[in-house]
Structures are given as C-alpha cells and as structure tokens.
C-alpha cells in the first residue's frame, strides 16, 4: 500500500521531468536543426533567451527520481544502474556537456567557438533524452532484472530504440510548443509560426512512432504492450491522444499560450502515467514487483511524508514564480531612481 | 607490509578509478557548496542593510550578489546531478543494500534544493516586481532552506561514518529500520555544525576577499568598503565558533571512530601519553618521519590528561584500517585545516582589535593581503576537511559494515578512466565558464559604475538591471536584436 504510493510518487516525478526537462531538451533539438550560423541565428537567439531561466530547476526532478529510486526501491535502483550502466553514464555525461556547452556559448562572441559550444549543447540535448528513453525501454520490455550485469541488448533492442526516438520526439514537440509561446512573449511573430510548424510536424512524427510501437512491442515487450492496449492503460493512452489532438488544434488556431502548453504537457504526462499503469504490479516487469522491491517500511512512510511536505512548500513558491515571470508590469526599480523608461531599450 | 600488499591484490581493479572519479566530482562540487549554502545569507545581510539605511550602494551590492548566486547555483545543479548518478554508476552495492536505511536524507536535500532553486528565481525576479520589504521577506527563507539541504546531506554522510538505525538479519541484510536513529547518528551533530559554520565562513571570506583585492588595487570607494565589511564581519564572528566546533568534532571522532582518529593523529600503537605530530609521514613500520613531535599533547587534546588512552591503528587488522599512505594523507589534510583555522582566528582577532580601537583595519596593506587570501585559504580548508573525513573512513563505505571494495561497480577500470576523462574535461569547461561569466559581469558593472559614479555614493541612473547580466536571471521582455 505505502509502497504503491511511493511508486506513484516516482511515476509522477518521471512525468514532471519528462515534461519540464523535455521542453528544455527540445529547445536543444531545435537548436541543432536551426541550420547554418546565419539562417539559424534568430531561432538560436530565442532559444538562448528563453531556456536559461528554467532549465536548472528541471534537473532537480531528475535528482528526485534517483533519490526516490534508491531510498524507496534500492534493489531496483541497483539493477537499473548495473544493467543499463552505459546508457545512463552517457546520459550523465550528456548532462555535463549540455550544461557546459549552453553556458559557454552565451558569453562567447567568436563564431567558431560559438559553433563548438553550441554543437556540444545541441548534440547532448538530443543524445541525453535518447539514452533516458532507451533505458526506459529496457525496463519496460523486461530486460532489467535484479542481480543482472551490464548488458548491451538491454538498451539496443527494438523497444529501447523506439522509446528512445519517442522520447526525443516528445521533447522536440514540447520544445517547439514552449518556444512558440516564448516567441510570442518576446515579440517575434515570425518565430511563432516557425516553431508552430515544427510542433505540428513532430506531433505527426510521434503519431507515426506510436503506430510502429504498437506493432513492435507486441512480441518485444508483451507485458506492457498488453496493458497499454486494454484496460486503464488504454484509457490513459486515449487521454494522451486527445490532449495531443487538442494541442494540434490549439496550435493551428493560434490559441493563448497557456492552453496550448497545458494540452502538450498533458499528452506527454499521460503517456508516462500510462506506462506506470501498464507496469503494475511490477517495478521491473516481470521480475520484481513493487511489494518485493520496496525498501524498509519506516523509510517508505517518511518518504511519502517528505514528498507531501515538499509539495506543500514548493507548490506555492512555483505559483509565485510563475506569476512574477508572467507579470509584464514592473515596479519602479529600487536601484534606479528617476525615469523608469529604459535608456538602452532592453527592458520595459 | 605483506598485509597491505595482499589488500591491494584483493581489491578489484576498478576500485581506484571509481574512487578517483567520485573524489574528483565531489571535490569539485564541494567548492561550490559554500556559496549555495551561505551566499543567500550574505546577500540578505546586505539587502537588509540597504533597506534599513536606504543605502543605494548596499542595494546595488545585494542585487549584484543575487545575480552571482544564480549563476553559481546553476553550475552547482549540474555537478550535483552528476553526483547522484555516480551513486548508482559507481557504488551500486551501497545503494542497493543500504539505500532504504540512509537514503531519506537525500530526499530531504532534493526537495530543499528544489525549493531553493525556486526561491532564488523568485528573489531574482522580485527586484523589479515586488515591493521592497515583501521582496526581502520572500528572500528570508533562503538561508533556512539551504540549511535544510545541508541537513539531508550531512545526515547521509554522518550515517556512513557512524551507521545506526537497523539490525542485520541472517543474510547480513539490514532490517528493522528506525529512521530517526539512522538520521541522528552520533556523528551527525558534530559534522553538521562544523560543516555549516565552515560554509558560512568560506562564503563570507571569499566574497570579502574579492573586495579586499579591489582595495589593494586602489579602488577604495564606499562600494568596496561596504562589500568588504559586511561579509568579513560575519565570517570573522564565526571564526572562533568554528575553532570550538572543530575541537568538538575531533573529540567526537576520538570517541566514535577510534581508528579514524588514530589515522588523523598518526597513532600507531594504543597507549597513554601519546605525542602529537604536526605534519610528518607515517612509515609502514609505524614510525613517523619528519614533522614536529610534541610529547603527551595528543592524549591531552583527546581527553584533557596525559594519561588518556588513545587507540592506535594497529588495534585492528591491517585490512580494517586506512593504509599508511592514506593515514599520512588524512593527517596532512587535518593539519592543513587546523593551521588555516588558527591563522584565520588571528586575522579575526586583528580585525576585532582594530575595530575596538576605532581604527580602519583596511588601511593596512598587510591586513588587506591577508583578508584577500582568507577566501582561498577557506576553500583549501574545506577540501582538507572533506579529505579528512572521507579518506579517514577508508576502507569502509559504511563504517564497520561494508567495504568500499564491496560496493564498487563491476564496470572495467578502463571504461571508468575514460568516463573520468570526459567528466574532467566537462568540469574544466564548466568551471571556466563559471569564472568567465563572473569576470564578464564584473567588467560590465565596473564600466557602468565608472559612468554613473555610483560607487562614490551617487544615486544610480536608469540602466540595465544587474540580474539581466546573469545567464540564468530573468529575461528582458525583448529579444536582443529586436523585432523583425
């Protein structure tokens, strides 16, 4: 019972990382595909401008996923990190390169250096979600079991390749949706369309990948396949589909940013929750159930309490931040006396 | 000697690269920790002063420090995320067996970190969007959240040193977990207070050191004096406290981890009237070369009397204690930390004496030189303290229950060295950016201030907000380059 609650905390944290982190990785994806230095200059400027304030917070979701895994389900944590050693190492290295590349590009003016650092940021932004997705595919297809040792086939199998590609596509979709909204906020209407088109194309790609996935996982990941094509799993997949369609419709209609973003986040989040539902009662299908893999009871109870307290504390802070961020009006600057009109024209 | 050779032979080949990789990533991360923990406090101190005195210079400093805080925090997130990966990638045996006993602290830390990230963003956005005192009030939780994060990490580390809160079943697996006992272990209190005060001191001395350097270069305006005085005073007040806490933790180690204490003080054989060595090297036969030997002192320091019995390294078999090389490293690191602490104490006394006599200590160039070096010295002391506690714990990852070699991954040594190469390159790049961004921010601010004369106390004119210079701060509402 309490183990199930912790398992759901884990699933929700993964969903939060998929949505929050996904949008950041997606921005890197579009950075990679923005074209040459001249053609890609404006989209990249928007990406530089829009991504920075949020990405650091999103990494914390990932830390939380790891912490819940090792505290709540230590055997599963050990199995996942032993069997999927290489993809997870590559993902961690991708995180470093991404952070370094992104931060390095900003202060650099020379084109050759900007290209190098930008490439590190962009390539790492694509590879990191791919490896996370491939790791998820390894777990979902039952290739990770307690006591296993590092295995290549656990993340190069058909399901892993598919989930890896779907993770990248989902990130690209979220990234495009968020950047399209940012383009509106920062007053660059041509980029609104630019990213809107890309969001619709990636949504199409996601649909195609999902179609392939249904056929592919029938034999390759039978346990999860069965529960995603029937029962509550199917219901959530349908929710994801409806959200995706709604997002597409809102994009085409040019609806307000918040609604489009909510629909896009809803579709990706629903897929993650559907995966969690489909794995029940297993942590690692079909070798370790939630009940078997659960850590000490006392710890699980405290983990739930810590999570609840945190939600109570972090929730209002996040709402406040969002309100501050979206509030256009600025108070008079306490440092800057006199004319609030900005001389350099960079803020209003 | 043969014991040590056997021990080395029995250790898996990947143990060394795994330890080095962990040491490198943690050793880098810990340099950023003082600022994550204590820079918010230093900034709020200045912010309070600015609000109380309606002081535009103090306000400008607080606002700029908040921008620095954001950059530093972003770098710390990357290095911190890598660490949590490394627990699984390098030490799967530790987490798989003990994760549910001691992992909860990390959970507290993760949420505290999250809350701190959000609150730092709120603080940064708040400069122009909130009323002054509301904005300050929203910043006040920051230091407490930082202390909560440190609580989580120190709970985990002190548990590794004095593991409690579980029983072992027939298979040697932990059962009957008592969370409270696992969090509040005997070493928790001493470690926590020593660490936290060390972090506040380091942040204070480093920030003050920046402005001391500026004053040495002739920039003796109000901006620099204020930027120096506020953090330096805070750090100087904490210095004697830290001396007391350092003594407290050393004596706690003596009582709780006798063999670690023996390594710290180079005690070979258990006995009374044990001499204290200042520096020196432990030889495989138990003799000490070099260093200054003070008879009786170690016994006196440990138990206030020369007849105090101090446990020696040889009280346990060779495979259950640090090697002589590790003991020398621990001892050296410990002495470096104590030495730096003592010198900082003298500096704090100098400052207090000058202030008491109503003199301006910053008129002495020697004082400024020492103050400028105090920040770097603090960072060295942080590293030294961390080496003392981590290397002193060897060969155990869970003191007395699990060896480091039992917890290590089965990945080959070659792969781990390759990963280490990438991580080192990535971290060097990351730290280079960090420093480059800070220097660039400084250059911009200096240029601006020369135009406005704000450092001499003039009311600043309109212009770009400091937090916009930070790569992770709030964005201006328009894209650079404008509409097209």
Reported in sequence order, the residue ranges of B61-170 that DSSP labels E, i.e. its strands, are 167-168
Q: How far is B463 from chain A (nearest CA, A)?
A: 6
Alpha-carbon distance values, A235 to A162, A167, A242 (Å): 21, 21, 11
Q: Is residue A66 part of a domain?
A: yes
Per-residue pLDDT tens for A221-254?
Answer: 888 888 888 888 889 999 999 999 999 999 888 8
Residues of A in contact with B78 (CB under 8 A): 59, 95-96, 99-100
B145 has pLDDT over 70: yes
Note whether A63 contacts B86, CB cutoff 8 Å: no
Instruction: Determine the residue among A43, A46, A99 to mutate to test chain B binding: the one whose Cβ has the most chain B Cβ atoms within 10 Å.
Output: A99
B204 touching A (Cβ < 8 Å): no
Q: What is the residue-wise DSSP string for A146-172?
A: TT----SHHHHSHHHHHHHHHHHHHHH
Task: Tell me which residue in B429, B466, B479 faces A186 most closely, judged by beta carbons.
Answer: B479
Note whether B114 contacts A314, CB cutoff 8 Å: yes
Task: Tell me which residue in A93, A103, A299 faces B177 most closely, judged by beta carbons.
Answer: A299
pLDDT value for B210: 92
Task: Tell me which residue in B427, B466, B477 faces A347 most closely, judged by beta carbons.
Answer: B477
Note whether A96 contacts B82, CB cutoff 8 Å: yes
Q: Is residue A105 part of a domain?
A: yes
How confident is the model over B83-92, as a mean pLDDT?
A: 89
Report the length, in residues, of chain B: 484
H/E stretch holding B278: strand B276-278
What is the rounded distance in angstroms from the CA atom of residue B256 to the CA atom of residue B33? Answer: 26
Q: Is residue A81 part of a domain?
A: yes
How confident is the model over B381-396, as a mean pLDDT?
A: 91
pLDDT value for A335: 43
Residues of A in contact with B472 (CB under 8 A): 52-53, 56
Q: State the pLDDT confidence band at B34, using cuts at 50, 70 and 90.
A: very high
What is the rounded distance in angstroms from the CA atom of residue A213 to the CA atom of residue B88? Answer: 30
pLDDT value for B314: 86
Would you say A187 and B478 are in contact if contact means Cβ atoms under 8 Å apart? yes
Alpha-carbon distance values, B303 to B277, B306, B323 (Å): 17, 8, 26
What is the rounded distance in angstroms from the CA atom of residue B256 to the CA atom of residue B254? Answer: 6
What is the rounded distance in angstroms from the CA atom of residue B454 to the CA atom of residue B451? Answer: 8
Note whether A85 contacts B89, CB cutoff 8 Å: yes
pLDDT value for A55: 53
pLDDT value for B30: 93
Note whether A107 contacts B89, CB cutoff 8 Å: no
Residues of A in contact with B93 (CB under 8 A): 78
Q: State the pLDDT confidence band at B332, using cuts at 50, 70 and 90.
A: very high
**Most confidently predicted of B4-8, B15-19, B96-100:** B15-19
Strand duo B402-403 + B167-168: pairing: unpaired
With H, G, I as helix, E, B as strand and everything else as coil, classify residue B292.
strand
With vertex at residue A270, the alpha carbon angle to CA A265 and CA A274, rounded to the nearest 5 degrees, is 155
Task: Tell me which residue in A68, A107, A333 faces B107 most closely, judged by beta carbons.
Answer: A68
Q: Is residue A185 part of a domain?
A: yes
Q: What is the residue-wise DSSP string for B365-399?
A: HHHHHHHHHHHHHHHHHHHHHHHHHHHTTTTEEET
Q: Is residue A334 part of a domain?
A: no
Which range among A217-226, A266-275, B139-148, B203-212 shows the weakest confidence by mean pLDDT? A217-226
Q: Is residue A332 part of a domain?
A: no
H/E stretch holding B277: strand B276-278
Residue A102: count of CB within 10 angstroms of its CB = 29
Could you give the ipTM of this predicted complex? 0.83
Residues of B in contact with A342 (CB under 8 A): 462-464
pLDDT value for A341: 31
Q: What is the pTM of this model?
A: 0.86
pLDDT value for B144: 92
How confident is the model over B209-224, as a mean pLDDT?
A: 88
What is the rounded distance in angstroms from the CA atom of residue B74 to the CA atom of residue A58? Answer: 11
Domain count, chain A: 1
Reported in sequence order, the residue ranges of chain A that DSSP labels E, i.e. its strands, are 282-284, 288-289
Residues of B in contact with A44 (CB under 8 A): none
State which residue of chain B sits closest to A89, comparing Cα positions: B89
Contacts of B251 (CB under 8 A, 6+ apart): B301, B302
pLDDT value for A101: 76
For chain B, what percent of residues have pLDDT higher than 90? Answer: 28
Q: b/e for B158-192, b at 16 or more Cβ within 10 A?
A: bbbbbbbbbeeeeeeebeebebeebbebebbbbbb
Task: Tell me which residue in B81, B129, B174 faces A95 most closely, judged by beta carbons.
Answer: B81
The list of chain A residues with pLDDT below 50 reads: 328-348
Output the furthest CA–CA distance in chain B (Å, rounded): 83
Instruction: Determine the residue among B426, B435, B468 to mutate to test chain A binding: the one whose Cβ has the most chain A Cβ atoms within 10 Å.
Output: B426
Note whether A107 contacts B93, CB cutoff 8 Å: no
Per-residue pLDDT tens for B253-279?
Answer: 888 888 888 888 888 888 888 888 888
Q: Is residue A19 part of a domain?
A: yes
SS3 content of chain B, % helix, strand, coil (to 5): 75, 5, 25
Contacts of B339 (CB under 8 A, 6+ apart): none
pLDDT value for A186: 78
Task: Tell me which residue in A330, A340, A346 faces B464 most closely, judged by beta carbons.
Answer: A346
Strand duo B292-294 + B276-278: pairing: antiparallel
B68 has pLDDT over 50: yes
How confident is the model over B356-373, as a mean pLDDT?
A: 84
Per-residue pLDDT tens for B410-451?
Answer: 888 888 999 899 889 888 888 888 888 888 888 888 888 887
Note whether A306 contacts B59, CB cutoff 8 Å: no
Which range among A122-131, B7-16, B35-44, B390-399 shows the weakest confidence by mean pLDDT? B7-16
What is the rounded distance in angstroms from the CA atom of residue A93 to the CA atom of residue B232? Answer: 38
State which residue of chain A sits closest to B471, comparing Cα positions: A52
B378 has pLDDT over 90: yes
Q: Is residue A134 part of a domain?
A: yes
Q: How many CB pairs under 8 A join A and B?
A: 298
Instruction: Determine the residue among B59, B100, B159 to mutate to test chain A binding: the one whose Cβ has the most chain A Cβ atoms within 10 Å.
Output: B100
Per-residue pLDDT tens for A161-192?
Answer: 999 999 999 999 999 998 888 888 777 888 88
Residues of B in contact with A338 (CB under 8 A): 459, 461-462
pLDDT value for A56: 61
Q: If we measure between CA atoms, which residue out of A167, A181, A162, A173 comes closest to residue A199?
A: A173
B41 has pLDDT over 80: yes
- CB contacts under 8 A, B 439-468 vs A, are 440, 459-466, 468
Would you say A96 and B78 are in contact if contact means Cβ atoms under 8 Å apart? yes
Contacts of B72 (CB under 8 A, 6+ apart): B32, B35, B36, B39, B434
Note whether A299 contacts B481, CB cutoff 8 Å: no
- Domain extent for A277: 2-327
Task: Tell me which residue in A42, A50, A330 faces B128 most closely, judged by beta carbons.
Answer: A330
What is the rounded distance in angstroms from the CA atom of residue B463 to the CA atom of residue B481? Answer: 18
Report the length, in residues, of chain A: 348
Contacts of B104 (CB under 8 A, 6+ apart): A71, A299, A302, A303, A306, B155, B179, B182, B183
Note whether B82 contacts A92, CB cutoff 8 Å: yes
What is the rounded distance in angstroms from the CA atom of residue B142 to the CA atom of residue B117? Answer: 9
B41 touching A (Cβ < 8 Å): no
In the DSSP assignment, the letter for residue A74 is H
């Amino acid at each position: 019972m309490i183990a199930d609650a912790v398992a759901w905390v884990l699933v929700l944290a993964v969903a939060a990382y998929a949505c929050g982190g996904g949008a950041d990785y997606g921005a890197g994806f579009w950075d990679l595909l923005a074209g040459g230095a001249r053609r890609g200059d404006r989209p990249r400027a928007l990406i530089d401008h829009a991504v920075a304030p949020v990405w650091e917070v999103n990494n914390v979701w990932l830390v939380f996923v790891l912490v819940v895994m090792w505290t709540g389900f230590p055997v599963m944590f050990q199995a996942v990190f032993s069997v999927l050693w290489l993809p997870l190492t590559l993902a961690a290295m991708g995180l470093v390169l991404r952070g370094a590349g992104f931060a390095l590009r900003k202060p650099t003016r020379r084109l050759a250096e900007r290209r190098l650092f930008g490439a590190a940021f962009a390539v790492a932004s694509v590879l990191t979600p791919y490896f996370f997705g491939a790791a998820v595919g390894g777990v979902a297809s039952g290739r990770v079991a307690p006591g296993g040792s590092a295995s290549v086939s656990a993340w190069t199998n058909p399901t892993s390749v598919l989930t890896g590609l779907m993770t990248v596509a989902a990130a690209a979709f979220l990234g495009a949706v968020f950047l399209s909204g940012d383009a509106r906020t920062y007053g660059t209407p041509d980029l609104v369309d630019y990213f809107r088109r890309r969001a619709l194309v990636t949504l199409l790609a996601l649909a195609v990948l999902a179609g392939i996935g249904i056929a592919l996982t029938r034999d390759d990941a039978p346990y999860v396949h069965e529960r995603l094509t029937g029962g509550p799993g199917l219901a959530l997949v349908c929710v994801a589909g409806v959200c995706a369609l709604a997002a597409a419709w809102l994009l085409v209609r040019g609806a307000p940013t918040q609604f489009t973003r909510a629909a896009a986040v809803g579709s990706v989040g629903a897929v993650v929750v559907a995966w969690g539902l489909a794995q029940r009662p297993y942590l690692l299908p079909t070798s370790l159930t939630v009940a078997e893999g659960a850590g000490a009871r006392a710890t699980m109870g405290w983990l739930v309490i810590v999570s609840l307290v945190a939600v109570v504390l972090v929730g209002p802070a996040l709402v406040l931040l969002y309100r501050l961020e979206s509030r256009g009006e600025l108070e008079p600057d306490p440092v800057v006396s006199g004319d609030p009109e900005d001389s350099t024209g960079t803020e209003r | 000697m043969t014991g040590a050779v056997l021990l080395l032979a029995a250790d898996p080949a990947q143990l060394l690269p795994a330890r080095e990789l962990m040491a490198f990533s943690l050793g880098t991360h810990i340099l950023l920790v003082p600022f994550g923990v204590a820079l918010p406090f230093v900034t709020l101190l200045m912010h309070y002063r600015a609000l109380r005195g309606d002081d535009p210079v103090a306000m400008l400093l607080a606002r700029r420090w908040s921008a620095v805080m954001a950059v530093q925090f972003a770098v710390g997130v990357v290095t911190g995320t890598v660490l949590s990966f490394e627990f699984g990638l390098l030490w799967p045996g530790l987490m798989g067996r003990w994760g549910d006993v001691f992992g909860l602290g990390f959970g507290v830390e993760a949420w505290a970190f999250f809350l701190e990230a959000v609150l730092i963003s709120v603080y940064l956005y708040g400069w122009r969007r909130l009323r002054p005192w509301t904005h300050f009030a929203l910043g006040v939780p920051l230091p407490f959240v930082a202390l909560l994060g440190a609580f989580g990490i120190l709970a985990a580390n002190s548990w590794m040193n004095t593991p409690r809160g579980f029983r072992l079943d027939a298979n040697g697996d932990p059962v009957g977990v008592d969370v409270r006992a696992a969090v509040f272990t005997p070493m928790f209190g001493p470690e926590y207070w020593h660490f936290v005060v060390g972090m506040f001191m380091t942040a204070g001395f480093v920030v003050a050191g920046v402005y001391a350097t500026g004053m040495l270069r002739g920039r003796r305006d109000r901006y620099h004096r204020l930027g120096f005085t506020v953090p330096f005073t805070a750090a100087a007040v904490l210095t004697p406290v830290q001396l007391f806490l350092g003594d407290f933790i050393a004596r706690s180690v003596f009582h709780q981890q006798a063999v670690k204490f023996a390594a710290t003080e180079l005690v070979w054989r258990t006995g009374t009237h044990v001499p204290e060595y200042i520096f020196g090297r432990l030889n495989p036969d138990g003799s000490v070369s070099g260093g200054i030997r003070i008879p009786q002192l170690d016994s006196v320091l440990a138990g206030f009397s020369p007849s105090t019995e101090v446990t020696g390294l040889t009280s346990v078999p060779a495979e259950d204690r640090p090697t002589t090389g590790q003991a020398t490293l621990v001892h050296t690191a410990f002495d470096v930390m104590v030495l730096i602490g003592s010198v900082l104490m003298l500096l704090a006394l100098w400052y207090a004496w000058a202030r008491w006599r109503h003199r301006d200590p910053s008129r002495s160039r020697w004082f400024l030189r020492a103050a400028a070096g105090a920040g770097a010295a603090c960072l060295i002391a942080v590293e030294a303290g961390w080496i003392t506690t981590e290397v002193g714990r060897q060969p155990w990852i869970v003191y007395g229950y699990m060896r480091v070699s039992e917890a290590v991954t089965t990945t080959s040594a070659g792969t781990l060295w390759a990963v280490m190469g990438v991580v080192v390159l990535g971290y060097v790049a990351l730290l280079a950016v960090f420093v480059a961004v800070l220097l660039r921010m400084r250059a911009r601010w200096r240029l601006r201030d020369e135009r406005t004369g704000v450092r001499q106390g003039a009311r600043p004119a309109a212009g770009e907000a400091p937090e916009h210079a930070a790569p992770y701060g709030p964005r201006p509402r328009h894209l650079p380059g404008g509409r097209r």
